[in-house]
Amino acid sequence: MTIKCHKGIDLLHDPLLNKGTAFTKKERKAFGLEGLLPPRVVLLEEQVARVYENLRRKSSNLGKYIELRMLQDRNEVLFYALVQKYLEEMIPIIYTPTVGEAVQLHSHIYRFARGLYISPENVRQMKEMAKNLPTGDIELIVVTDNQGILGIGDQGIGGMGIPIGKLSLYTLGAGIHPSRCLPISLDVGTDNETLLKDPFYLGIKQKRITGKKYAAFIDTFVRNIQKLYPKALVQWEDLSKQNAFYNLEHYRDTLLSFNDDIQGTGAVAAAGLLNACKIKKERFQDQIFCIYGAGAGGIGVATQILNSLIDEGVPHKEALRKIFVLDSKGLLMEGAPLEDYKKPFAKSLPGREGGAPYQVGDVVKKMKVTALLGLSGKAGAFTRDIAEAMLCNTSRPVIFPLSNPTANAEANPNDLMQWTNGAAIVATGSPFEGFGQGNNVFIFPGVGLGALAAGAKKITDAMFTAAARRLSELVSKGELDRGSIYPPMKNLRSVCVEVAMAVSGKSKKEIVKRMWEPKYTAL
């Protein structure tokens, strides 16, 4: 690993090397820091305590987010030591749900440069741009085109907050050194009229490029990444559903890459379902699944349920018969005009009276659904009537309102418990106190770490099936008895190690050897 070294004030402005008041007297003399810092040398633990004390004075989560981002841009080791110590408290601040608000206000709260902003105007200069980065040893890239951010849609270059947040989780969970991580925002314009009219908006003020122009731009970007960082893993993040599926399929055989919205979401949902079946004391293959939402997340979940059923020995056609997927128009039906990625889950059923499409409640009742998952972004879509219908189908209905952010959840989990007399097994996409969160952070860092440790040439669907199954095994019997279907967030590091082992076949010793800890080292 090569990091550019500095002296004096430049060293204090390098977040990868800055220790602040923790520089020893010897280091202060050697690097021209004498007089630039208060005289007392302070250990990392005391720095963490001081920063945490200041952070608690912030009255809003957005204020805490801004404070933490400023800390990250000032001192990476201190940032990660703090977040790691208070992991369960900090993850909802540095990522969902707070990151959604930060993304929307990106141009108004912008403080410090991080990563690369690549547009059609500069994509051919990526080699020169890369030379200006702090390090050239990049092994992990998270890239977004900003069009499908969480449940809030097109956010222009504000989407940069997503790659920055995801890479922070890679470092926290998988121990990827922050100097090896590169966030990228692809600025291909925005169709968000609010941003186009905003005088403070920092992106290109033009409508999004689409079609052949977009495809050519992505192709140039990918070819440059392959030349600059031939061994790096690329995670596609928060693209529109059409571009998400196209980019994943088009480049998965030639670029070490995956899409977390599709594959990570699918794997974490499948792990939750496997554990819900343990609580129910029923077989996974005996469930009937309904997924409301046929975008990247919804089809990703449907695909992973299909793969998990097949992995348990269920024939492909029989597995498909157990999965029902609905988009905004209703149940996916054969013969209807559907995007290619939806077609595998289309059904051939007798039409409803009057020709109206089947909606969620219809499918739940008619198909005797036992597991209902929401990835629609439509708040309140899972009503009392639907929950009560689920209870008629099974004594322990499984209901996962997985849409982000919190305001977009298909139901409040407390309502679901009330409507089912406490019988429902519930997990959410956003954090709700007292309920397990189907957080992709339990999957993607471990998959990335495992792929890098194994020197993989391709990320396969089988890796995500293995990750889902291993994640489900990491919840103890006692936790299952208490209704928990995911491990506690405090176990994130050990979860990522186990997932990495499952997808790579590498030993724990080999995996842990790669992992970075947020500790100061002598310069």
Cβ pair 243, 211 in contact under 8 A: no
DSSP 44-109: HHHHHHHHHHHHTT-SSHHHHHHHHHHHHHH-HHHHHHHHHHTHHHHHHHHSTTHHHHHHHTHHHH
Percent of the chain with pLDDT over 70: 98
Per CATH, the architecture of 43-255 is what? 3-Layer(aba) Sandwich (3.40)
Beta strands in 193-262 (DSSP E): 233-236, 257-259
pLDDT value at residue 141: 98
pLDDT tens-digit series, residues 78-115: 999 999 999 999 999 999 889 999 999 999 999 998 99
Q: Where in the chain is the domain with CATH 3.40.50.10380?
A: 43-255
Cis bond before residue 397 (omega within 30° of 0):
no
95 is catalytic: yes
pLDDT value at residue 96: 86
Active-site option among 166, 241, 342, 378: 166
pLDDT value at residue 15: 95
Fold entry, domain 263-440: Rossmann fold (3.40.50)
pLDDT tens-digit series, residues 186-216: 999 999 999 999 999 999 999 999 999 999 9
CA–CA gap between residue 5 and residue 2 (Å, rounded): 9
Residue with tokens 């302070």: 42
SS in 3 state form for 455-487? Answer: CCCCCCHHHHHHHHHHHHHCCCHHHHHCCCCCC
Active-site option among 65, 95, 170, 520: 95
Among 442, 445, 440, 447, CA closest to 503: 447
